[in-house]
Amino acid sequence: MSTAPAHGALPGRPGKIIAVHVSHESRAAQRGRRPAAPSYFLKPSSSLGASGDAVERPEGTELLAFEGEIALVIGSPARGVSPAEAWSHVAWVTASNDWGLYDLRANDKGANVRNKGRDGYTPVGPELIDARTVDPAALRVRTWLNGELVQEGETSGLLFPFAQIIADLSQHLTLETGDVILTGTPAGASVATPGDVVEVEVDAPGGPSSGRLTSRVVDGPGGFDPAVGSLPSVDDLQREEAWGSREAAGLPAATASVLSPELRDKLLEAPVAGLSQQLRKRGLDNVTIDGVHAARPGTKLVGVAKTLRFVPNREDLFRSHGGGYNAQKRTFDAVREGEVIVIEARGERGSGTLGDVLALRALARGAAGIVTDGGVRDHATVAGIGLPVFSQGPHPAVLGRRHVPWDTDLAIACGGATVQPGDIIVGDDDGVIVIPPAIAEEVADAALAQEGEDGWIAEQVAAGHPVDGLFPMNAEWRAKYEAATEAEA
């Protein structure tokens, strides 16, 4: 192992910087995604910075996020090493800040080239800790934003110990002397704005420390050229993940919260035909999502709308928006328990708008169901996974034949009905309707009351009474019904 330098800088410019996507238990819990194995991305060595350097937030962007992390510096080459010998290849430990610009995140998916590869977005230091003097399972990383402690994580809470990360990487590539591994951030990573100061420190409590790695956020130039590449763009999912929570981002609470368990039970019991009748009585006659049918007969769907919009396919737009971590994938990754993904496909059934993989993702996230006025690929498989799915039917073609996934979490038109995020969606064999949340309780109660009346009327008709005056009930029949209801009570 080489001798540590007398100063706090790295021993030289690293050949590569490798970062772990998610490694802390607390971060996985915060994101709601627990990986089964470590995954990685590369950062260019040109992104390196030092303590005290400014970090630029380009003009026209809003989501510059900090992530305090423990950085490992490789001291001797490692290729095909075992976990037992992995730590012996680490020379030093220090602090790092894995800065990222979420505005540029979407089109890179997990590669993070544009959002995390910018100049100065990987400051490390200020001091190096000799790896031989510390226990890798007893290190700590802390982050301060303007003097307030916002992150604290210990290596005892890692999903993947350092030895596993090093051994895993070494079975695929050679870790060379001077290479840097960023080992993931704990919960609490968030957004910084110009004028903010972020500090990160790595230590062995009661032992050696890296000192505080200080970054000052400043305004930087923008000037992104749309003719060259991806432009900055954000949505509420990016805001939530950059800030760490919907509350921290200033977003309203998750829309599924408008549907209480009691209201959900009522809507599960109430037939869509009865709910539709009550909405029409209240002047709402354009709330039916027309042309869609359950993939599995007998399905009942109740949930809160999360919307996704496709636009007609145009080859250049599909190249810019159809690949990578596009709006469709972001929607299925972000759907919450109790939400229904509602897709605007313009009634175009000549292409699938989802398939079995995305349906399984929605199921795993706890989605209440999916409604699309387009087609569904892998229709039989989708029908069999137990997730309520309503569509125009099967179609084998992939998305790009007819559609470009464009945007999410906005008002859309699905099957001729306007659907806003947060609307309540109810479906059964008669179809799917949209209920404004403000009147959902009132409509559900009225529909259930009407269902009771209709059941009693059906009994009278079955007993031989004519429908005239009975359906709907005149005053005489109404009095009989009320008397029967009181007697049963």
Q: Which tens digit of pLDDT belongs to each residue from 125-139?
A: 999 999 999 999 999
pLDDT at residue number 1: 39
Instruction: Please compute the mean of the pLDDT values over residues 354-374 and round it to a whole number.
Output: 95
- Here the CATH number for the domain that contains residue 231 is 3.90.850.10
When mean pLDDT is compared across 90-99, 105-114, 304-313, the lowest value belongs to 105-114
Which residue did the predictor score with more confidence, 369 or 323?
369
Confidence at residue 9, expressed as pLDDT on a 0 to 100 scale: 64
Condensed to tens digits (0 to 9), the pLDDT of residues 6-63 reads 334 688 899 999 999 999 988 887 776 678 889 999 999 999 999 999 999 999 999 9
Tell me, yes or no, if the pTM score tops 0.85: no
Beta bridge partners of 475: none
pLDDT at residue 388 greater than cutoff 80: yes
Residue 8 lies in a domain: no
Q: What does the CA dihedral 400, 405, 406, 410 come to, rounded to 10 degrees? A: 150
Q: Which pLDDT score is estimated for 137?
A: 95
Residue 105 has pLDDT above 50, yes or no: yes
pLDDT of residue 423 exceeding 70, the answer is: yes
- If one counts the domains in the chain, the total is 3
User: What is the band of 4 on the pLDDT scale with cuts at 50, 70, 90?
Assistant: very low
C-beta of residue 98 within 8 angstroms of C-beta of residue 132: no
Q: Which of 243, 272, 302 represents a domain boundary (last residue)?
A: 243
User: Got the DSSP string for 118-187?
Assistant: STT-EEEEEEEEEGGGS-TTS-EEEEEETTEEEEEEEGGGBSS-HHHHHHHHHTTSPBPTT-EEE----T
CA distances, 250 to each of 84, 236, 241, 243, 253 (Å): 46, 10, 12, 9, 9
Mean pLDDT of 213-221: 95
pLDDT of amino acid 452: 78
Distance between CA 257 and CA 301 in Å, rounded?
A: 17
- Residue 139: inside a domain, yes or no? yes
User: Given a cut of 60, is residue 2 above it in pLDDT?
Assistant: no
304 and 260 both lie in a single domain? yes
Helix axes 327-334, 236-243, angle to 10 degrees: 50
Pick from 386, 382, 385: nearest CA to 372: 382
Q: Measured in whole angstroms, how far is the alpha carbon of residue 152 from the centre of its chain?
A: 23
| 13 Cβ neighbours under 8 A, 6+ residues apart | 45, 48, 178
Residue 58 and residue 121 in contact, taking contact as beta carbons nearer than 8 Å: no
Query: Is residue 66 located within the same domain as residue 159?
Result: yes
Other residues' Cβ atoms within 10 Å of the Cβ of residue 250: 8
Are 265 and 368 found together in one domain?
yes
Q: What pLDDT is recorded for position 320?
A: 85
Q: Which DSSP string corresponds to 62-111?
A: --EEE-EEEEEEE-S-BSS--HHHHGGGEEEEEEEE--EEGGG-GGGTT-
Task: Indicate the burial class of 426 (C-beta count within 10 angstroms; 0-12, 13-18, 19 or more).
Answer: buried
Share of the chain above pLDDT 70, in %: 96
Residue 259 lies in a domain: yes
Q: Which residue did the predictor score with more confidence, 111 or 169?
A: 169
Q: Does residue 447 belong to any structural domain of this protein?
A: no
Query: What pLDDT is recorded for position 257?
Result: 58
Collapsed DSSP state (helix, strand, coil) of residue 425: strand
pLDDT greater than 70 at residue 149: yes
Specify the pLDDT at position 25: 87
* Distance, first Cα to last Cα, the chain: 85
**Digit-coded pLDDT (tens) for 155-179:** 998 999 999 999 999 999 999 999 9
Q: In the listed set 243, 276, 309, which residue is the last one of a domain according to the structure? A: 243
Q: Tell whether 5 is covered by a domain.
A: no
Question: Do 358 and 267 belong together in one domain?
Answer: yes
Task: Give the pLDDT score at 387.
Answer: 96
Computed over every residue of the chain, the mean pLDDT equals 91
Residue 68 has pLDDT above 80, yes or no: yes
Predicted local distance difference test score (pLDDT) of residue 8: 41
Both 176 and 48 in a single domain? yes
Structural domain range at position 146: 17-243
Instruction: State what percent of residues in the chain have pLDDT above 90.
Output: 72
pLDDT tens readout for residues 428-462 = 999 999 999 999 999 999 999 888 777 788 888 89
Q: How far apart are CA 332 and CA 335, in angstroms?
A: 5
Task: Of 97, 86, 112, give the one whose Cα is nearest residue 21.
Answer: 112
Buried b (16+ CB within 10 A) or exposed e, 167-202: bbbbeeeebebbbbbbbbbbbbbbbbeeebebbbbb
Residue 405 belongs to a domain: yes
Per-residue b or e along 324-340, where b marks 16 or more CB atoms closer than 10 Å to that residue's CB: eebbbbbbbbbbbebbb
The secondary structure element, H or E, covering residue 57 is: strand 54-58
Looking at the fold, whether 300 and 188 belong to one and the same domain comes out as no
Section 81-92 average pLDDT: 97
Residue 399 in domain:
yes
Per-residue pLDDT at 5: 38
Overall size of the chain counted in residues: 489
pLDDT at residue 256, as a whole number:
52
pLDDT of 475 higher than 70? yes
Q: Distance (Å, rounded) from C-alpha 445 to C-alpha 215?
A: 57
- 78 and 98, same domain (yes or no): yes
The whole-number pLDDT of residue 3 equals 41
Instruction: Give the mean pLDDT of 342-361.
Output: 95
